[in-house]
């Protein structure tokens, strides 16, 4: 993890938030490469979950909502972790982190035995809307995106004219005042979720839960996370919310252990029923064939953007051996991102920066590829060093404009370039006119 965290900072993937002021625990900023990786992931999720399907539409709800939403959903009452304070070192600990030595509770920080009884600590961030700061103007930053979908269920149903089963997808920020943010971005206080609420008839719930589990596992493979590193955990009844009929966690084998990436949960009709009861507005579905009215059930695949980005980086990180300028083998750090996810798709290099023709041709290629993908032009340093810099940030392809491109050595090679593959380091010649098509076949 240390190597990964340091690479993320050095090459502009992820930085500590407010770093020049000493940071703020559990909050992170994504730099120029991190933001590309994150966007590639969110866009691909949207493509697979919304655009490639007839039965899902999207929405983008507000982060602040009427406090009544959080009362009805149960978050105000129960979205809390039991906490214990250590009176010796003043640490606030999650109750499940307290050490139990033969029935004696001990602080994992200082070993102290003077601990308070567990107390509920709500994880939602409070805020005030408008000029007055009192109970009547209070609400919370949303701790999940899902509730916006439930409260807009009827409106989206009407405007989209969908029939059951159908889903509403959303990607957006969520906030939780986690007691112990840790493992880099894994447990943060501000993060993004990619959630689908898939509404169905009660009798279809269990089948659709398994269907979505399979779909989501396929998704991870399609972004380059190997199946062998994923683990499906069936959440036992005692860990599930009382309304949940079944729940899978998709876990990833992080360097710090097997940890949850996504939950695929069968939430029954709990959320819609709660909001119907609390708001007094009907959230029922009318089945035109059977003329029945009922509250649909829901299956929810809910994934974390930041956790998946972290998994992508962990999965991609590799060290291997590659020859340096003089042919001597050296250790190469390489991020083997799937080309779909890679922040930069192609590096473009004139062999020599002081040759006007090579530079001009390379810039023509930049203009040719730019409408299709994010590319990076680099003319500084030896070509081997330029390749290494791109390997380290996971750029899957490198294009070098050399004297063959100008047709100086062999007229048949005019307007061809060297195309280098990041992982195999193999090079082949490709006609400039075929470059965009060749690269697009791998990155889309
Ligand atoms: N709507 C359901 C829901 O929010 P959850 O299991 O609490 O379920 C879903 O969260 C996903 O959101 C998790 O699987 C994880 O990927 C992500 N997530 C939750 N808390 C997080 C945190 N503190 N930091 C980063 N990601 C988090």
Largest CA distance in the chain: 83
Q: Mutate which of 307, 308, 310, 312 to test ligand 1's pocket (most atoms within 8 Å of Cβ)?
A: 307
Residue 22: partners with Cβ closer than 8 Å, 6 or more residues away? none
**Residue 325 pLDDT > 80, yes or no?**
no
Confidence (pLDDT) at 80: 77
Confidence (pLDDT) at 151: 98
Confidence (pLDDT) at 324: 81
Ligand 1 proximity of 306 Cβ (cutoff 6 Å): yes
The string of pLDDT tens digits covering residues 151-173 is 999 999 999 999 999 999 999 99
CA distances from 37 to 198, 267, 310 (A): 27, 31, 10
| 194 CA to centre of ligand 1 in angstroms | 9
Residue pair 256/186 in contact (Cβ under 8 Å)? The answer is yes
Which of the four pLDDT bands, split at 50, 70 and 90, describes residue 95? Answer: confident
| 358 CA to centre of ligand 1 in angstroms | 50
Ligand 1 proximity of 75 Cβ (cutoff 6 Å): no
Ligand 1 proximity of 191 Cβ (cutoff 6 Å): yes
Which of the four pLDDT bands, split at 50, 70 and 90, describes residue 257? Answer: very high
Closest C-alpha to 415, from 394, 435, 436, 390 = 435
Confidence (pLDDT) at 406: 93
Confidence (pLDDT) at 122: 86
Residue pair 405/388 in contact (Cβ under 8 Å)? The answer is no
Q: Tell which atom from ligand 1 comes closest to the C-alpha of 192.
A: 26
Alpha carbons 148 and 169: distance in angstroms, whole number:
11
Mean pLDDT of 376-399: 96
The string of pLDDT tens digits covering residues 299-321 is 999 999 999 999 999 999 999 99
| 174 CA to centre of ligand 1 in angstroms | 9
| 357 CA to centre of ligand 1 in angstroms | 52
Helices and strands (DSSP H and E) totals, the chain: 12, 25
Question: What DSSP state is assigned to residue 41?
Answer: H
Q: Cα–chain-centroid distance for residue 333? A: 23
| 266 CA to centre of ligand 1 in angstroms | 16
Confidence (pLDDT) at 90: 83
State the virtual CA torsion across 216, 48, 63, 275 in degrees, nearest 10: -70
Confidence (pLDDT) at 379: 97
**Residue 394 pLDDT > 80, yes or no?**
yes
Ligand 1 proximity of 107 Cβ (cutoff 6 Å): no
**For atom 7 of ligand 1, which residue has the closest CA?**
144
Confidence (pLDDT) at 118: 84
Instruction: Put residue 248 in one of left, alpha, beta given phi > 0 → left and psi -120 to 50 → alpha.
Output: beta
Residue pair 339/240 in contact (Cβ under 8 Å)? The answer is no
**For atom 10 of ligand 1, which residue has the closest CA?**
302
Alpha carbons 398 and 419: distance in angstroms, whole number:
6
Ligand 1 proximity of 193 Cβ (cutoff 6 Å): yes
Q: Mutate which of 193, 213, 305 to test ligand 1's pocket (most atoms within 8 Å of Cβ)?
A: 193
| 280 CA to centre of ligand 1 in angstroms | 29
Question: How long a stretch of residues is the chain?
Answer: 444
Ligand 1 proximity of 144 Cβ (cutoff 6 Å): yes
Q: Tell which atom from ligand 1 comes closest to the C-alpha of 250.
A: 14
The string of pLDDT tens digits covering residues 36-92 is 999 999 999 999 999 999 999 999 999 999 999 999 999 998 887 788 889 899 888
Pairing relation of β-strands 346-350 and 375-377? Answer: parallel
Confidence (pLDDT) at 171: 98
Confidence (pLDDT) at 402: 95
Closest C-alpha to 145, from 303, 18, 367 = 303
pLDDT averaged over every residue in the chain? 95
The model carries a pTM of: 0.93
Confidence (pLDDT) at 165: 97
The string of pLDDT tens digits covering residues 174-184 is 999 998 888 99
Residue pair 55/157 in contact (Cβ under 8 Å)? The answer is no
DSSP string, 197-246: EEEE-GGGHHHHHHHHHHHHHHHHHHTT--GGGEEEEE--GGGS-TT-SE
Closest C-alpha to 400, from 424, 380, 429, 371 = 429
**For atom 20 of ligand 1, which residue has the closest CA?**
187
Ligand 1 proximity of 249 Cβ (cutoff 6 Å): no
Q: Mutate which of 304, 309, 311 to test ligand 1's pocket (most atoms within 8 Å of Cβ)?
A: 304
**For atom 16 of ligand 1, which residue has the closest CA?**
304
Least confident window among 80-84, 187-191, 210-214, 411-415 = 80-84
Confidence (pLDDT) at 96: 84
Ligand 1 proximity of 253 Cβ (cutoff 6 Å): no
């Amino acid at each position: 993890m240390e190597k990964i965290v340091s690479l993320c900072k050095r090459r502009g993937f992820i930085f500590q938030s407010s770093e020049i002021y000493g940071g703020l625990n559990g909050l992170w900023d994504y730099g120029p490469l991190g933001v590309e990786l994150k966007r590639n992931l969110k866009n691909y999720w949207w493509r697979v979950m919304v655009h490639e399907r007839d039965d899902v539409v999207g929405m983008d709800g507000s982060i602040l909502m009427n406090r009544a939403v959080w009362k009805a959903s149960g978050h105000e009452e129960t979205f809390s972790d039991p906490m214990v304070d250590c009176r010796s070192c003043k640490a606030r600990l999650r109750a499940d982190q307290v050490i139990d030595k033969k029935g004696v509770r001990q602080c994992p920080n200082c070993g102290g035995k003077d601990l308070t009884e567990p107390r509920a600590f709500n994880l939602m961030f409070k805020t005030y809307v408008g000029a007055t700061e009192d109970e009547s103007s209070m609400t919370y930053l949303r701790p999940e995106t899902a509730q916006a979908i439930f409260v807009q269920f009827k409106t989206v149903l009407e405007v989209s004219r969908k029939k059951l089963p159908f889903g509403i997808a959303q990607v957006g920020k969520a906030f939780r005042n986690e007691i112990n943010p840790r493992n880099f971005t894994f447990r943060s206080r501000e993060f993004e979720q990619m959630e689908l609420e898939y509404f169905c008839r009660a009798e279809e719930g269990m089948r659709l839960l398994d269907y979505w589990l399979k779909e989501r596992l396929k998704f991870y493979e399609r972004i380059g996370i190997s199946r062998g590193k994923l683990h499906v955990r069936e959440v036992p009844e005692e860990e599930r919310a009382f309304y949940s009929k079944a729940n899978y966690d998709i876990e990833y084998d992080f360097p710090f252990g097997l940890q949850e990436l996504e939950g695929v949960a069968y939430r029954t009709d709990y959320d819609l029923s709660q909001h119907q009861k609390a708001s007094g507005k009907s959230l029922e579905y009318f089945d035109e064939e059977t003329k029945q009215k009922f509250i649909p059930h829901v299956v929810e695949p809910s994934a974390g953007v930041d956790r998946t980005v972290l998994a992508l980086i962990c999965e991609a990180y590799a060290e291997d051996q590659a020859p340096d300028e003089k042919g001597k083998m050296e250790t190469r750090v390489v991020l083997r991102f799937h080309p779909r996810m890679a922040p930069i798709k192609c590096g473009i290099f004139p062999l020599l920066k002081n040759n006007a023709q090579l530079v001009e041709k390379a810039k023509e290629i930049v203009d040719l590829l730019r409408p299709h993908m994010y590319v990076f032009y680099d003319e500084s340093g030896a070509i081997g060093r330029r390749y290494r810099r791109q390997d380290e940030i996971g750029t899957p392809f490198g294009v070098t404009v050399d004297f063959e491109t100008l047709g100086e050595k062999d007229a048949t090679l005019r307007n061809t370039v060297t195309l280098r593959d990041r992982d195999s380091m193999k090079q082949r010649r490709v006609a400039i006119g075929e470059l965009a098509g060749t690269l697009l076949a791998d990155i889309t």
